[in-house]
Amino acid sequence: MTGRRFVRIVPGALAMAGILGLDGCAPVAPMRDTPSLGVVDTALANGAPEFALRIAQTMIAKNPSSEAAWVRQGDAYAAMGNPFEAKGSYHRALSLQPHSTGAEMGMGRLALRSNPTEAAEWFGKVVETHRDDPAALNDLGIAEDLLGQHAAAQVNYRKALNAQPDLSAAQVNLGLSLAVSGHAQEGAALIRPLAEGSAATPRSREDLATALLLSGQENAARAVLRRDVPENRLDDSIRALRALGTMQAVPGS
């Protein structure tokens, strides 16, 4: 499954469910058991969930006991914005494989915005059996940030980065988590290389602007935002980022 970092506590809520920015979720490593699964993974990665769903359904019709195919069907439904169907697919996968990592990750991500406590439980299950899984550690950190457990979240982002140093989702989430917990300058320093490098995106620049704003550097934040935001909308963007940056996540909100 592809994903952003935090849910962003800013989709950009903080890249936490928006900042923490579902930049938030790191990609789950593809499970390529068969060529067909590889095709599904590629379709999902390239933003073609309808095509991925058709392939997964064909695989299930041929082999209803394929846990991996049920997970892919769930991932496709989730990407299409159909959580009820996604949950049904993940539950079926779990009935076939009680510790299905893909299904547990999928269930956690479905719960992340509405019930971070439940999400943390699902991601925690994955970490219990795969303690160095970078995607699970990153997503567990997102859930903890949304619950206001910033210190615990930062530990898990650092573990994710130890396991996969180039995991930009965890790097940004760590930076944003530090920023919203009183360490904005340190957070901005972590995000800056991603926001100013050759692969920088409007989203990464918004993340940097958020951290700069929280560290009291409004002029610097404005300078970053000007790359992507028209001058007549700059004040609105600053107000929105300031509100998101001071937001406290509430379980179940």
| pLDDT higher than 70, residue 7 | no
Cβ proximity of 23 and 6 under 8 Å? yes
**Under CATH, which architecture does the 1-25+115-253 domain have?**
Alpha Horseshoe (1.25)
DSSP-H helix ranges across the chain: 35-45, 49-62, 67-79, 83-96, 101-111, 116-129, 134-146, 150-163, 168-180, 184-196, 202-214, 218-225, 234-245
In eight-state DSSP terms, residue 66 is: -
C-alpha Rg value of the chain to the nearest Å: 18
Average pLDDT, the chain: 86
Q: Label residue 152 by pLDDT band (50, 70, 90).
A: very high
Q: How far is CA 106 from CA 61, 122, 205, in A?
A: 21, 9, 28
Buried b (16+ CB within 10 A) or exposed e, 163-191: bbeebbbbbbbbbbbbbbbebbeebbebb
Whether 196 has a pLDDT exceeding 70, the answer reads yes
Quick check: 191 pLDDT over 70? yes
Q: What is the pLDDT of residue 24?
A: 58
Domains in the chain: boundaries: 1-25+115-253, 28-111
Are the beta carbons of 76 and 53 closer than 8 angstroms?
yes
- Whether 1-25+115-253 shares its CATH topology with 28-111 is answered yes
- Whole-angstrom Cα distance, residue 108 to residue 112? 6
Is residue 128 exposed (0-12), middle (13-18) or buried (19+ Cβ within 10 Å)? exposed
Confidence class for position 246, pLDDT limits 50, 70, 90: low
Q: Is 110 exposed, middle or buried (0-12, 13-18, 19+ CB in 10 A)?
A: buried
Q: How confident is the model at residue 197 (pLDDT cuts 50, 70, 90)?
A: confident
Task: Quickly count: other Cβ atoms within 10 Å of residue 33's Cβ.
Answer: 12
**What distance in Å separates the CA atoms of residue 54 and residue 35, rounded to the nearest whole number?**
15
**pTM, two decimal places:** 0.82
**Cβ proximity of 176 and 20 under 8 Å:** yes
Q: Which CATH number fits domain 28-111: 1.10.760.10, 3.60.15.10, 1.25.40.10, 3.100.10.20?
A: 1.25.40.10
